[in-house]
Amino acid sequence: MPTFDIGPEDFELDGRPMQVVSGALHYFRVHPDQWADRIRKARLMGLNTIETYVPWNFHAPDPDVFDLTGRRDLARFLDLVAAEGLYAIVRPGPYICAEWDGGGLPGWLFADPEVGVRRHEPRFLAAIGTYFANLLPLVAERQVTRGGPVLMVQVENEYGAYGDDPLPERQQYLRALVDLTREQGIDVPLFTCDQADDEMLARGGLPELHKTATFGSRSTERLEILRRHQATGPLMCMEFWNGWFDSWGLEHHIAPAEANAADLDDLLAAGGSVNLYMFHGGTNFGLTSGANDKGIYRPIATSYDYDAPLAEDGTPTAKYHAMREVIARHLPVAELDVGSSGSETGSGAGSGAPVLEVGLTAQVPLAHALPSLLREDLQVFTSTPTTDDLRLWSGFAVYRTRIRPDDLVLTLSEVRDRAVVLVDDEQVGVLDRGSHTFAVALPARAGDLTLLVEDQGRVNYGKRIGEPKGLIGPARTAVRTIDDWEAAALRVEDAPELLRAALDAPGRALPPVPDGAVPGPVGAGLFRGTFDSAGGADHFLRLDGWTKGLAWVNGELLGRYWSLGPTHTLYVPGPLVRETGNELVLLELHGASAGRASFVAGPDLGITEQ
């Protein structure tokens, strides 16, 4: 069988030097029917390896679930990598960051406040052991030593940037992860990665494990820093940051192709190996995006385009061609035959996606829709519960109580992350973690107070990893503390199906708009429209005039939209679209200037700094 080793100077495949030129391609951010297309384009750009993280919470959304099917079929993804003649690097965490919800760590793991976060703690390690036992056997079967594509497996992720535990305890934790990994039959080389920083490289690895670095510029200088901590063996940038992620409310980040290409050229000329982060970013479908909080909470946008060489819809960009030209100076590159734009699966932005308008003619007001969306009956609490208390690890929850005429204001210690406040079904304000808005005025009357609370993404980096979500009490008014609450999680993932039922329920739906008419301004609620289009073609959904909410096409949750920007379109993968009878559903939290949506010719990722 083939071998892959870390030699005194080089990576060695079957005893021969190998310069690893890899690209990050996350199977969980790409529709499975498009995996093969993206992998093929990686090979045509000159890559010889595909790297992917594995998000634990994506496969284990609840403690008694482990899913390896459909979008979660890592085995199929690795087999497609092998079928294209490429190798693979697998990074299973347990923590991955990746701007993913909670950095991949399941919210349910921390429902017990005594569970350790990224440290040598028995319950945390036991949970990791179960995770690895479910996941790593399929990786082990596909190691290069068994005729598969997997060259290396990572241990933890940028651990040098986390926490302040003493070095012996940190190394004890990492060695426990090594043991748990090896117990599942992983015999290929293990490695760690940390930012190209002396302190982080010293704190984040083990003497017996190969160290790699992460950086996005000044390649020669950063490789020299890595060499100080990796005296022998090949030097590798495990994350060459050729772009950056976007957060709601900020600009769309771009990195000039010329500068990226020059830094990549320096890296490869120095004999270094590389993993482009990202080769293809993809999309944070559903409710999977994470958040950062360094004093200001900033949730990650739905698009994970990352200004990568391969755009969100699979279109090769100018950066793709610039990097391909650089790689060709150092390694053999296949003849390019994908053209300058477009993907095999879907139309691609470069060729022009279908353009049409859709009227959202069926409507159910938010207050009437909420009862249909409840996952279970409201539970009674004698203090303000978190959504973790509701066993809700992602999504939305409803909180209810009664207010009096003299309450006048509602304040909370914190809201994680955003709450629409209603009194007797009328919106009276918003509580918002990002702007530190934790108080809202109440009308001077008795009534039912409802809070629709949104988890906008669990923090994926830093000391706030593992924190609970929801309302963080106590909840006070001008005259008292409110201790009596009812609360329950919502089934937003089932909103399209539940909308149909709500439309049939007496008194819940608004009268439908006549065929051909354009709906006027609308308030918060669930909305539905249908459309015909080019089946199998990529689409770009634009929601000008809408405020904030979720969008589904044919029952698949595309993700969040928000007028705050920067992103103004949502990517709709071609495999989701039929020729006729397509359904668009929106959950709008505030209101829109008109009840219509548009599909446009290409993406609009927002303003940039340049």
Taking a C-beta distance cutoff of 8 angstroms, is the pair 349, 311 a contact? yes
Buried b (16+ CB within 10 A) or exposed e, 206-227: beebbbbbbbbeebeebbebbe
Sign of CA dihedral 559, 565, 568, 571: negative
Q: Which of the residue ranges 194-198, 268-272, 363-367, 583-587 would you say has the lowest mean pLDDT?
A: 363-367
Taking a C-beta distance cutoff of 8 angstroms, is the pair 348, 314 a contact? yes
Mean pLDDT score, 180-200: 98
3-state class (DSSP) for residue 598? strand
For the chain, what percent of residues have pLDDT higher than 90?
90
How many CB atoms lie under 10 A from the CB of residue 263?
Answer: 24
Mean pLDDT score, 307-316: 98
Nearest in space to 574 (alpha carbons), one of 358, 353, 360, 356: 353
3-state class (DSSP) for residue 164? coil
Cα–Cα distances in Å, from 107 out to 385, 393, 533?
A: 15, 5, 39
Cα gap 338→347, rounded to integer Å: 13
Overall pTM surpassing 0.85 (yes/no) = yes
Exactly one of 51, 84, 99, 239 is catalytic; which is it? 239
Assigned token pair, 142: 């596909």
The β-bridge relationship of strands 291-293 and 297-299 is antiparallel
Residue 346 has pLDDT above 50, yes or no: no
Average pLDDT of every residue of the chain: 95
Residue 349 has pLDDT above 60, yes or no: no
How many CB atoms lie under 10 A from the CB of residue 609?
Answer: 8
Structure letter (DSSP) for residue 519 = P
Q: Which domains does the chain have, with CATH numbers?
A: 4-345 (3.20.20.80), 356-364+493-600 (2.60.120.260), 375-490 (2.60.120.260)
120-163 pLDDT, tens digit per residue, is: 999 999 999 999 999 999 999 999 999 999 999 999 999 999 99
Cα gap 596→522, rounded to integer Å: 10
389-412 pLDDT, tens digit per residue, is: 999 999 999 999 999 999 999 999
Cα gap 502→454, rounded to integer Å: 22
pLDDT at 519: 72
Assigned token pair, 99: 């701007």
Residue 569 has pLDDT above 70, yes or no: yes
pLDDT at 98: 98
DSSP state string for 256-275? -HHHHHHHHHHHHHTT-EEE
For the chain, what percent of residues have pLDDT higher than 70?
95
Q: Where are the beta strands (DSSP E) in 16-141?
A: 16-18, 21-25, 49-53, 87-91
Residue 340 has pLDDT above 60, yes or no: no
pLDDT at 609: 77
CB neighbour list of residue 25: distance below 8 Å, 6 or more residues apart:
38, 39, 42, 50, 51, 52, 278, 279, 280, 282
Cα gap 604→311, rounded to integer Å: 12
The phi and psi torsions of 310 (rounded to 5 degrees) equal -110, 120
208: annotated active-site residue: no
pLDDT at 345: 37
CA 12 to chain centre: 34
Taking a C-beta distance cutoff of 8 angstroms, is the pair 347, 534 a contact? yes
Taking a C-beta distance cutoff of 8 angstroms, is the pair 105, 469 a contact? no
With both helix axes pointing from N to C terminus, report the angle between 257-269 and 318-328 in degrees, rounded to the nearest 10.
Answer: 20
Residue 343 has pLDDT above 70, yes or no: no
DSSP state string for 383-429? S--BTTTTT--SSEEEEEEEE-TTT-EEEEEEEESEEEEEETTEEEE
Cα gap 189→215, rounded to integer Å: 22
Residue 518 has pLDDT above 70, yes or no: no
Exactly one of 158, 454, 467, 588 is catalytic; which is it? 158
284-299 pLDDT, tens digit per residue, is: 999 999 999 999 999 9
Nearest in space to 585 (alpha carbons), one of 285, 395, 361: 361
pLDDT at 502: 74
239: annotated active-site residue: yes
CB neighbour list of residue 331: distance below 8 Å, 6 or more residues apart:
19, 21, 46, 48, 268
pLDDT at 344: 40
The phi and psi torsions of 32 (rounded to 5 degrees) equal -55, -35
- Amino acid at the residue 572: V
pLDDT at 117: 95
213-230 pLDDT, tens digit per residue, is: 999 999 999 999 999 999
Assigned token pair, 507: 């008194």
